[in-house]
Chain A
Amino acid sequence: MNAVLLTHPWSIWTIIVPLAAAVLAFLVPRRAPLAGIITALSVALFVAATAYRIFLAGPHIQLLGGWQAPLGITLRVDGPALIMLLTSGLVGLTVSFYAAGYFTAADRQERRQQHYFWPLWLLLWAGCNALFLSGDLFNLYVTLELVTLSSIALAALNGSSAALDGAMRYLMAGLLGSLSYLLGVALIYGAYGTVDLTLLGQTVRADGLSRAALALMTAGLLLKTALFPLHFWLPPAHASAPPPVSALLSGLVVKAPLLILFRLWFEVFPDTATAGMAHLLGILGCGAIIWGSLMALRQQRLKLLVAYSTVAQIGYFFLLFPLARGEAAATAWVGVFLLVLAHGCSKASMFLVCGTITRLAGHDRLTGLAGAGGTLGARLLVFALAAVTLVGMPPSSGFIAKWLLINAAIVTGQWWYLATIALGTLLASGYVIRVLSLAFTESQSPPLPIAPRILRWPPLALAVVALLLGLAAFHPAVLTLAGAPVSGIILLEMVP
């Protein structure tokens, strides 16, 4: 039994099962929610099996079609991929349950949303998992397109004018980003005759052509991951989509191009990328943290506030580029990957809470929620619980992640990044407290009905998981470094 557990290619089923389920959900729309839930449970199982295999047998490479690397495509089942798969499994499972309760067949319009949500989401899920596992530059392009196109369709799902505009903006940004990435791939193939990440890592020369290709691919991916100042498309798309979709877009989808960026910069082009380029990304990250947080503070609608908070949180991920240096490399690496996991869970939870609140109150205007108390107050408490991780308070995983990043900033002597992290945390507390204060003002509005159980538990579960991950952060931290391009000790204690 154990031999099968340790040798079977579990990870491919996280791609194949959603693909097959998407087809079934499209064929038999009435049974789509059932197909979705079964898929969610099985994907979670396959992710767990993959984690088990990596934990005991280490990272491994899977050949597709049985062909070796330059000819065939390989899958990389390593630590970074696993953390992403874990995020995808956790967020996907919870959102699937929530969506099963959220999309009902009440009327014609809703039935349409219900019927199309499932195939699109399952294709998106397959795309995400495929992207996380891919070890081939061109295959990454195809998976990225699968992710982008399904995200666009989901963003437009409710058919409102705002959603359609948001989806269109998303589409244009996505096209620009992916074509720019693809041109970089073309140049790389022209120079080295292969698109396999491992082989490229061994052969890439640090010359002008590699730098040009890296710049093209990075620019495209920055646009896709919505790093400030290329974030213009994200808030409208994320805020006007149905809440389960927003949760997926913010919790999962923005991380997809991010992983490609990490793989490119640390595995394929470690010598090509100069310190100046790394600092540029770091500075843009700082800009994102500050700008996104300030914009979040100014928003009048809960969903837009959460969406701008995503813009800010994306900034933290980019601190990896300047911070992962010398002896701080492993620390920063683990910190950022923990942050990806923490942000995925907490942000998805927050968007789901937004959805429940909107369902109950009929809107998500902050002024209108004042004095909500009662039912809404309980929802806002879940929001607060998720926000603990987002802001980075102990003992959440967000806290550990930021702690590691701060340590890395201190060790490498880059104080300004530390200052930005601190400022970002302060601003984040600001916009979270702004929301929470609503719950504690006096209630004037008539009591609202209690939300159905299926709309209450998933966000709470995610928020709790995000919080408790902080206590069990050791395992994910170790796994993150399995097969990672950086190594070293994780500096847990402050070493000024």
Chain B
Amino acid sequence: MDPRDILSIVFLLAAAPFFLAGTIGLLRFPDVFCRLHALTKADNLGLGLIVIGLALQADTWLQSARLLLIWLLVMLSGATVAHLIARTALRAGRKPWSGRS
């Protein structure tokens, strides 16, 4: 097996836990602020690992660049949205979970 393939497989397989963690976090974390963490993990790392895994397989640099662009866009949107949602939740008077409740 081509070492590039092995590397790809490693990256792709590594991505799965992040998405699972994102979902489980979404389900299990106590409040909206914590859940934001879950979301951003999936965005940044899960998708990032997939992008890297696939970019290794790409035939041309252009395809890899396209993949990277998609990742960057998702991260950019994710960060902005996370910030705005957190701000909305704060202004709506929700207190971040402090671990005591």
Direct contact of A and B (CB under 8 A): no
Q: Which positions in A face B, CB cutoff 8 Å?
A: none
